[in-house]
């Protein structure tokens, strides 16, 4: 596999520099350069945005580069092309919430218990008409949308092993960010990002006196930390008038998506547009789809897995694996 004299690596294709004994060095080099130029052209044609607006791009680029900065330890979100990963996700299943359960009603989490002001929610039509034995499941009042069901939460004390435990149950649960029941917004992820990105920029201006992309790197990081702590809704002098535009959105929910998607763009297969040249995998030491012989290393997976120290291989990507499986290079 390895070519005599070494190899130039561009994108995911290895180009042999010196193969034929009688070929002229000059023509080999020229050939390689032209291949490189073609590859670059190919890459450039796939490097673009399909969902993010130019305004959003200007904001999101420094955001992802704040979350995974390029620093002395190595490349970051910028080199990995994280923004292209996020852009494509926003334009596809993730952004369209294609695999999410999005049906109404949309009731937010974190509603505290209240017996004086209970949550009242109408039952579904199916509920009203479902024939079940002896009215066991009918809501109080006989069912139907005219008779909403009340929820008040409350405090209960349970005794176990002689020790009492008092538990406070809110009207709705208080899930951690990123939990499957935490996102209860009536909009899909693309709309959530659109609204939240604009609110982030507004907050940056109000709290730190300028657009996010103009802030010092310390203030950029602080701005994102503020999202995690929901400061745009609580911090003074940022007033409670909530003019940042987050409104009913918890900023920490957006902070979660930003951080989650940035790391995903750094570490997921290059086929999704991020982790370019597998730089993310190189950084964390993940071998990708190299099972020990992707480049002719001749290692067996069974040996690798019972070793008492890990083996760093040059990572391979899903596309490379598929090309090899299909009998290609």
Judged on CB neighbours under 10 Å (0-12, 13-18, 19+), 315 is buried
Q: Is 62 in the site for another protein (CB under 8 A)?
A: no
Q: Is 216 in the site for another protein (CB under 8 A)?
A: no
- Tell me which residue has tokens 């092993």: 161
Measured from the CB atom, the residue of 7 and 111 that comes closer to another protein is 111
Shortest reach from residue 36's CB to another protein, in Å: 28
Determine the Cα–Cα distance for residues 129 and 152; give it in Å rounded to an integer. Answer: 25
Shortest reach from residue 18's CB to another protein, in Å: 31
Binds another protein by CB under 8 A, chosen from 24, 159, 237, 327: 159
Q: Is 295 in the site for another protein (CB under 8 A)?
A: no
Q: Is 171 in the site for another protein (CB under 8 A)?
A: yes
Instruction: Pick out residues in 41-60 that bind another protein (CB under 8 A).
Output: none
Binds another protein by CB under 8 A, chosen from 29, 146, 173, 329: 173
Q: Is 269 in the site for another protein (CB under 8 A)?
A: yes
Measured from the CB atom, the residue of 148 and 245 that comes closer to another protein is 148
Measured in whole angstroms, the distance separating CA 79 from the mean position of its chain's CA atoms is 17
Alpha-carbon distance values, 121 to 139, 171, 174 (Å): 11, 12, 19
Stated length of the chain: 329
Measured from the CB atom, the residue of 201 and 252 that comes closer to another protein is 252
Binds another protein by CB under 8 A, chosen from 9, 30, 53, 229: 229
Instruction: Pick out residues in 71-130 that bind another protein (CB under 8 A).
Output: 71, 73-74, 76, 93-94, 97-103, 105, 107, 109, 111, 113, 119, 121-127, 130
Q: Is 306 in the site for another protein (CB under 8 A)?
A: yes
Shortest reach from residue 13's CB to another protein, in Å: 19
Closest listed residue to residue 276, CA positions, set 60, 16, 88, 15? 88
Measured from the CB atom, the residue of 20 and 74 that comes closer to another protein is 74
Shortest reach from residue 319's CB to another protein, in Å: 10
Shortest reach from residue 8's CB to another protein, in Å: 26
- Decide: 25 and 17 in contact? Cβ < 8 Å: no
The residues near 289 (Cβ < 8 Å, ≥ 6 apart) are 269, 315, 316, 317, 318, 320, 321
Measured from the CB atom, the residue of 41 and 302 that comes closer to another protein is 302
Measured from the CB atom, the residue of 16 and 139 that comes closer to another protein is 139
Determine the Cα–Cα distance for residues 324 and 130; give it in Å rounded to an integer. Answer: 55
Q: Is 264 in the site for another protein (CB under 8 A)?
A: yes
Measured in whole angstroms, the distance separating CA 226 from the mean position of its chain's CA atoms is 19
Q: For 33-47, b where at least 16 C-beta lie within 10 A, e where not — what string?
A: eeeeeeeeeeeeeee
Start-to-end CA span in the chain (Å): 9
Determine the Cα–Cα distance for residues 291 and 313; give it in Å rounded to an integer. Answer: 9
Determine the Cα–Cα distance for residues 216 and 211; give it in Å rounded to an integer. Answer: 11
**Binding footprint of another protein, residue count (CB under 8 A):** 108
Q: Is 329 in the site for another protein (CB under 8 A)?
A: no
- Strand, coil or helix: what is 317? coil
Q: Is 253 in the site for another protein (CB under 8 A)?
A: no
């Amino acid at each position: 596999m390895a070519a005599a004299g070494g190899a130039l690596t561009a994108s995911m294709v290895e180009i042999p520099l010196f193969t034929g004994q009688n070929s002229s060095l000059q023509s080999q080099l020229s050939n390689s350069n032209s291949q490189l130029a073609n590859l670059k052209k190919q890459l450039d044609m796939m490097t673009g945005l399909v969902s993010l607006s130019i305004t959003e791009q200007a904001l999101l680029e420094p955001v992802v580069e704040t979350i995974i900065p390029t620093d002395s330890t190595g490349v970051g979100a910028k080199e990995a092309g994280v923004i292209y990963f996020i852009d494509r996700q926003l334009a596809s299943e993730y952004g369209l919430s294609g695999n999410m359960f999005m049906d109404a009603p949309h009731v937010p989490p974190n509603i505290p218990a209240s017996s004086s002001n209970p949550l009242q929610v109408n039952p579904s039509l199916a509920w009203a008409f479902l024939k079940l034995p002896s009215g066991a499941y009918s809501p109080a009042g006989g069912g139907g949308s005219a008779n909403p069901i009340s929820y008040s939460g409350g405090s209960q004390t349970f005794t176990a092993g002689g020790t009492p435990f008092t538990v406070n149950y809110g009207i709705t649960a208080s899930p951690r960010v990123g939990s499957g029941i935490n996102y209860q917004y009536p909009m899909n992820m693309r709309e959530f990002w659109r609204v939240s990105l604009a609110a982030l920029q507004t907050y940056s201006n109000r709290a730190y006196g300028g657009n996010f992309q103009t802030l010092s790197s310390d203030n950029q990081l602080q701005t994102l930390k503020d999202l995690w702590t929901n400061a745009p809704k609580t911090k003074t002098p940022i007033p409670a008038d909530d003019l940042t535009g987050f409104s009913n959105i918890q900023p920490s929910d957006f902070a979660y998506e930003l951080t989650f998607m940035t790391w995903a763009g750094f570490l997921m297969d290059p086929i999704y547009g991020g982790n370019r040249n597998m730089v993310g995998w190189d950084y964390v030491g993940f071998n990708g789809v190299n099972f020990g012989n992707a480049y002719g290393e001749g290692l067996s997976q069974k040996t690798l897995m019972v070793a008492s120290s890990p083996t760093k291989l040059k990572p391979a990507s899903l596309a490379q694996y598929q090309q090899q499986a299909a009998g290609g290079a």
